[in-house]
């Protein structure tokens, strides 16, 4: 809470608190105005040349311990300046032409990108050449810096023991995607160069680094893991193929990657999905680790004939790391080359009155449609693939445990002007079986963090679909207030004010009203006013502020930070809700 209050305060007052570390260049200094350039009260009139002196604050960052803040001063057609300061202290670092700062988790380092001077950037852009950037690293205790040229991305491990910089691809026309990666040990002060890296990612605990190699001629291609504590490196898989979509499970102990090649004359790459579990023990003990396991999925493990596992969408794990969700696509043949001795093909758009969407909408979504994938569940325990989505039901919401998904089928109700109705289904990820949940429905409010409840809006009430039991419960039938947004002035059904969040104990949901916050139990009991009606009485709109970006639920046993806005006074500020009292 202290961090978020400080964030809001520092953004609002930074321009007044901080002065440039160095004076502006002489060529930017305004000249003395003539009499005609002054206003009646003697003030100098704003000139066009003054615009380049204008500065805006962007990329605000606060270290996790709240000790450091960073921001970038941006200027119109000028060079950025990165500022890193210690509020309440004397330390204040500036880095010319730097932006995009990120603090290490332990708050001891800050990394950033450094761009070339403005004139050089503009020259490269005019010539159609890529603009190179450096990656910089600043030791906040000593002020020492290091830079790496041609940087494409950088990242810290969660333990702050390591920092990696992935270089920009040197040859943009090369068929392979690998480039150099620098891995620096921050604790021991040395670094190593790893070549031909296509993708790299630390696991969430920050103990392992996984990377794929995509080299010229596919020599040495594979997926590798580095134990950051010992520096030991092991190959999980090697093949003369392309590895894509490296994905860690949240636990940091399971890893997935797609491996494949494109057959001649075909459009899609034919991939195998590799799932590795027990990776932490294996990285330390090697192949003798009893918990380590590799499972390989191919299209023949459950997909229809002519379908492939696609790299056009990223696979993701369920929370227990027992199921992978992967995109699939139908294979197709490449078009034959157009004969050179013929006239060029006509560029014509054809629309039929029976098309679901008008032509302009089809053109707008053409790229998305060409790369669309359809979700399937890959079960690690038995090596089965279960297709879940199809052309009618393209969108699926997956529970965190991966047991169920809620699928949306809007094809029966496609319209250019009617509300976007849809049928909703509960889909069993073990079998693919579908159960109709809602028919011709408009508004849904999403899954609970635990994956047991799915909220929706119907007939002016918030309803709870209990997924496993296949039951519907009207939660707000006995609520003392109507949660309908009466101020909604558009065509169609009026929506609710929305959901502020789910409670950490799994027993309720916090609903927004026009002014107040209400706690609605999931057993259907009456809602209670968390803000004691003060919002309605004083016409102050209270809204919950999430201070932790990774928070999944609202812990009502702790103090909550609320944003407050006066409907008529237009005052805005912060309130704390603690032990049932507002402050």
pLDDT at 24 over 70: no
Strand order in 395-398's β-sheet? Answer: 395-398, 404-409, 422-428, 434-441
Six-digit token string for 381: 């325990």
Strand order in 508-512's β-sheet? Answer: 499-502, 508-512, 517-521, 528-529
Q: How far is CA 545 from the centre of its chain?
A: 19
How many C-beta atoms surround the C-beta of residue 210 within 10 A?
Answer: 23
pLDDT-based confidence at 10, cuts 50/70/90?
Answer: very low
Contact 530, 557 (CB under 8 A): no
Please tell me the predicted confidence (pLDDT) of residue 272: 97
pLDDT-based confidence at 7, cuts 50/70/90?
Answer: very low
What average pLDDT does this structure show over 568-575?
96
Please tell me the predicted confidence (pLDDT) of residue 27: 43
Cα→Cα distances 289→121, 250, 319, Å: 52, 21, 22
Six-digit token string for 359: 């032509």
Helix (H), strand (E), coil (C) string for 232-278:
CEEEEEECCCEEEEEEECCCCCEEEEEEEECCCCECCCEEEEEEEEC
Contact 212, 220 (CB under 8 A): no
Please tell me the predicted confidence (pLDDT) of residue 26: 43
pLDDT-based confidence at 32, cuts 50/70/90?
Answer: low
Question: If you search the block for the tokens 């500020």, which residue do you land on?
Answer: 573
Q: How far apart are CA 318 and CA 417, in angstroms?
A: 37
Q: How far apart are CA 358 and CA 436, in angstroms?
A: 29
Contact 433, 416 (CB under 8 A): no
Contact 2, 558 (CB under 8 A): no
Q: How far apart are CA 511 and CA 527, in angstroms?
A: 9
Contact 458, 440 (CB under 8 A): no
Torsion angle of C-alpha atoms 414, 418, 419, 423, degrees rounded to 10: -30
Instruction: Please name the residues in contact with 181: beta carbons below 8 A apart, sequence gap of 6 or more.
Output: 164, 165, 166, 167, 193, 194, 195, 197, 200, 211
Nearest in space to 248 (alpha carbons), one of 216, 277, 291: 277
User: For the segment 453-471, what is each residue's pLDDT rounded down to a tens digit?
Assistant: 999 999 999 999 999 999 9
What's the chain's average pLDDT? 90
Q: How far apart are CA 204 and CA 105, in angstroms?
A: 12
In eight-state DSSP terms, residue 223 is: E
Contact 464, 457 (CB under 8 A): no
| 512: exposed, middle or buried (Cβ count in 10 Å: 0-12, 13-18, 19+) | buried
| 442: exposed, middle or buried (Cβ count in 10 Å: 0-12, 13-18, 19+) | middle
Q: How far apart are CA 323 and CA 315, in angstroms?
A: 10
What average pLDDT does this structure show over 295-310?
96
User: For the segment 99-119, what is each residue's pLDDT rounded down to a tens digit?
Assistant: 999 999 999 999 999 999 999
Please tell me the predicted confidence (pLDDT) of residue 6: 42
Torsion angles phi and psi, residue 251, rounded to 5: -65, -20
Residues in the chain: 583
Please tell me the predicted confidence (pLDDT) of residue 75: 87
Q: How far apart are CA 81 and CA 96, in angstroms?
A: 5
User: For the segment 215-257, what is each residue's pLDDT rounded down to a tens digit?
Assistant: 998 989 999 999 999 999 999 999 999 999 999 999 999 999 9
Q: How far apart are CA 508 and CA 554, in angstroms?
A: 10
| Domains detected in the chain | 1-11+50-149 (2.120.10.30)
Determine which helix (DSSP H) or strand (DSSP E) holds 335, and give its type and residue range. none
pLDDT at 31 over 60: no
In eight-state DSSP terms, residue 44 is: B
Please tell me the predicted confidence (pLDDT) of residue 1: 42
Six-digit token string for 362: 């089809």
Q: How far apart are CA 554 and CA 547, in angstroms?
A: 10
Helix (H, G, I), strand (E, B) or coil at 55: strand
User: For the segment 535-570, what is each residue's pLDDT rounded down to a tens digit?
Assistant: 999 999 999 999 888 899 999 999 999 999 999 999
pLDDT at 148 over 50: yes
Q: How far apart are CA 550 and CA 557, in angstroms?
A: 18
| 233: exposed, middle or buried (Cβ count in 10 Å: 0-12, 13-18, 19+) | middle
**Largest alpha-carbon pair distance within the chain?**
86
Please tell me the predicted confidence (pLDDT) of residue 3: 44
Contact 506, 464 (CB under 8 A): no
Contact 53, 24 (CB under 8 A): yes
């Amino acid at each position: 809470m202290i961090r978020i209050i400080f964030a809001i305060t520092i953004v609002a007052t930074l321009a007044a608190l901080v002065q440039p570390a160095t004076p502006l260049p002489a060529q930017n200094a305004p000249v003395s105005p003539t009499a005609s350039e002054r206003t009646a009260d003697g003030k100098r009139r704003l000139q066009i040349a003054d615009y380049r002196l204008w500065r805006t604050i962007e990329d605000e960052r606060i270290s996790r311990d709240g000790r450091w803040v960073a921001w970038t001063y941006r200027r119109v057609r000028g060079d950025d300046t990165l500022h890193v300061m210690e509020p309440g202290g004397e330390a204040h670092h500036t880095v010319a032409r730097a932006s995009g700062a990120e603090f290490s988790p332990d708050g001891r380092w800050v990394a950033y990108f450094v761009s070339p001077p403005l004139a050089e950037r503009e020259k490269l852009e005019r010539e159609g050449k890529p603009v190179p950037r450096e990656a910089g690293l600043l030791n906040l205790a000593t002020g020492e810096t290091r830079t790496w040229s041609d940087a494409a991305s950088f990242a810290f491990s969660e333990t702050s023991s390591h920092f990696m910089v992935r270089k920009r691809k040197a040859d943009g026309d090369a068929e392979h995607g690998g480039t150099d990666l620098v891995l620096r040990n921050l604790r021991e002060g040395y670094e190593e160069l790893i070549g031909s890296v296509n993708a790299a990612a630390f696991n969430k605990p920050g103990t392992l680094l996984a990377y794929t190699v995509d080299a010229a001629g596919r020599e040495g291609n594979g997926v590798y893991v580095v134990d950051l504590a010992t520096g030991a490196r092991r190959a999980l898989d090697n093949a003369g193929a392309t590895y894509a979509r490296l994905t860690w499970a949240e636990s940091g102990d399971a890893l997935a990657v797609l491996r494949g090649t494109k057959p001649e004359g075909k459009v899609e790459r034919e991939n195998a999905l590799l799932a590795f579990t027990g990776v932490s023990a294996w990285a330390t003990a090697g192949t003798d680790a009893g918990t380590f396991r590799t499972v390989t999925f191919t299209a023949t493990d459950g997909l229809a004939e002519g379908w492939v596992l696609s790299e056009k969408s990223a696979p993701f794990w369920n929370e227990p790391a027992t199921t992978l969700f992967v995109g699939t696509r139908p294979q197709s043949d490449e078009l034959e080359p157009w004969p050179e001795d013929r006239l060029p093909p006509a560029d014509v758009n054809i629309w039929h009155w029976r098309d679901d969407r008008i032509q302009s909408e089809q053109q707008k979504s053409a790229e998305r449609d060409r790369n669309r994938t359809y979700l399937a569940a890959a079960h690690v325990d038995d090596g089965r693939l279960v297709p879940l989505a199809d052309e009618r039901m393209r969108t699926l919401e997956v529970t965190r445990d991966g047991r169920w998904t809620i699928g949306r089928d809007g094809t029966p109700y496609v319209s250019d002007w009617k509300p976007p109705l849809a049928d909703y289904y509960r889909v069993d990820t073990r079998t693919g079986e579908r159960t109709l949940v809602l028919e011709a429905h408009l508004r849904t409010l999403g899954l609970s963090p635990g994956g047991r409840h799915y909220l929706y809006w119907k007939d002016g009430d918030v309803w709870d679909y209990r997924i496993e039991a296949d039951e519907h419960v009207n939660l707000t039938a006995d609520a003392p207030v109507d949660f309908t947004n009466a101020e909604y002035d558009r065509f169609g059904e009026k929506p609710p004010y929305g959901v502020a969040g789910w409670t950490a104990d799994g027993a309720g949901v916090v609903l927004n009203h026009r002014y107040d916050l209400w706690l609605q139990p999931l057993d259907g009991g009456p809602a209670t006013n968390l803000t004691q009606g003060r919002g309605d009485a004083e016409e102050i709109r209270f809204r919950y502020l999430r201070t932790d970006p990774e928070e999944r639920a609202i812990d009502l046993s702790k103090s909550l930070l609320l944003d407050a806005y006066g409907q008529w006074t237009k005052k805005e500020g912060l309130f704390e809700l603690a032990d049932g009292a507002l402050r």
